[in-house]
Every structure is written in structure tokens, then in C-alpha cells.
């Protein structure tokens, strides 16, 4: 799978995240509103976001999200956990999309929809299932996921975030549901 594509929509450009994006992306991420209901509620702090940013670069699947009208970085997202022969998909493969955030100025649905549509269309060239892990109490992200056709699965996992154990629910979108769902072209 090509983890570092350039994807372009009507209003957004997604391109690989690079070290030089630090200042612009931290400028967005330092807004506490982004993290207020997120499990990593302290990610607005520079040392915490620095670790997040460095992990994103090291993973190789991070994307900068750019508003084409202003040429400004307005957020990021990434791919992780590529499994080309996932058993859940009958061998059709899966990947996770996550770690997504946008500037509050771009909240409200249309930008997140375009970003996820671009990323999903790219992913479905390689896999038949995309999963999304979302903090169990992150209702903003859960609502956004449902609006783009994400189906809540029975899977729940947990991890350490901001010094505490946090449960994550798992949503999925399959290639078939994507082709027939709210993000279909």
C-alpha cells in the first residue's frame, strides 16, 4: 500500500506529513477545544503533542491536511496497522485510519467528510476493510464516524492515554459499504 500519497479534493489537499510541518500543525493542535473530549485530553500541550507528532512521522503513514483556499495546514490523519490478508475480510486486507483532528474552524462535517472520502477511496485500492478506533466517550468523533457510514462493531480495546486506561470502540467501513454509502462518488 502506498502510505504516502498526495490526495486532492475540491477543498482539501492531503500530503505526507514532514518535519517542517511542526509549527503549523502545533499551531492547530494547541487549541484545547480539539482535545476536550478526546481521550488524550492533554495533547494541546507542546511536549505531549511533540511525542504525537514524532510518532506520526516515525510510522510513515501520517498526512497533513491542507485547506486549498488558504494553503494552511488545518489538521492531520494517518494510516496504521496495514494487514494485507486480514482474516476479518476473508483475505481482502484491512487498515486503520485514525489520529485525525481538524482545526475547529473546519468542524461541521463537510471537511471531515471530504478528508475521509479521499483517504477511504485510496485505501480501498488495497484493502476491503478500514477500521477506526475511537475513544468510547469521544461523542464528537463517534457522531462524525456514523455520519460517514461507519458501522460500530462489537470490538472494544483499551490503551493508556494521558496516564489512564481508556476504552476504544471500533467502527468499520467496508469497500462495499463505502461504494453504497454516504461518501460514494
What would the pLDDT profile of 120-147 be if each residue is shown by its tens digit? Answer: 999 999 999 999 999 898 888 899 899 8
Phi/psi region, residue 180 (left: phi>0; alpha: psi -120 to 50; beta: rest), is alpha
Q: Which CATH topology does 7-180 take?
A: Aminopeptidase (3.40.630)
What would the pLDDT profile of 17-62 be if each residue is shown by its tens digit? Answer: 999 999 999 999 999 999 988 888 889 999 999 999 999 999 999 9
Domain boundaries, the chain: 7-180
Share of the chain above pLDDT 90, in %: 70
**What distance lies between CA 5 and its chain's CA centroid?**
15
Torsions phi, psi of 83, nearest 5? -125, 100
Element holding 7 (H helix, E strand): strand 7-8
**What distance lies between CA 174 and its chain's CA centroid?**
16
* pLDDT for 87 beyond 60: no
- Least Cα distance to 40 among 172, 106, 133 occurs for 133
Amino acid at each position: 500500500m502506498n502510505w504516502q500519497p498526495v490526495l486532492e479534493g475540491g477543498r482539501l489537499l492531503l500530503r505526507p506529513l514532514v518535519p517542517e510541518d511542526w509549527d503549523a500543525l502545533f499551531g492547530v493542535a494547541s487549541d484545547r477545544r480539539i482535545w476536550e473530549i478526546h481521550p488524550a485530553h492533554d495533547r494541546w500541550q507542546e511536549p505531549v503533542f511533540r511525542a504525537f507528532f514524532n510518532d506520526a512521522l516515525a510510522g510513515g503513514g501520517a498526512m497533513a491536511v491542507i485547506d486549498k483556499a488558504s494553503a494552511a495546514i488545518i489538521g492531520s490523519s494517518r494510516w496504521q496497522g496495514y494487514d494485507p490478508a486480514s482474516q476479518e475480510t476473508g483475505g481482502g486486507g484491512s487498515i486503520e485510519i485514525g489520529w485525525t483532528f481538524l482545526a475547529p474552524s473546519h468542524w461541521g462535517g463537510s471537511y471531515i467528510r471530504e478528508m475521509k472520502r479521499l483517504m477511504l477511496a485510496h485505501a480501498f485500492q488495497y484493502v476491503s476493510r478500514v477500521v477506526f478506533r475511537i475513544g468510547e466517550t469521544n461523542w464528537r468523533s463517534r457522531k462524525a464516524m456514523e455520519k460517514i457510514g461507519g458501522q460500530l462493531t462489537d470490538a472494544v480495546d483499551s490503551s493508556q492515554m494521558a496516564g489512564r486506561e481508556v476504552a476504544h470502540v471500533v467502527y468499520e467501513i467496508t469497500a462495499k459499504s463505502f461504494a453504497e454509502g454516504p461518501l460514494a462518488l
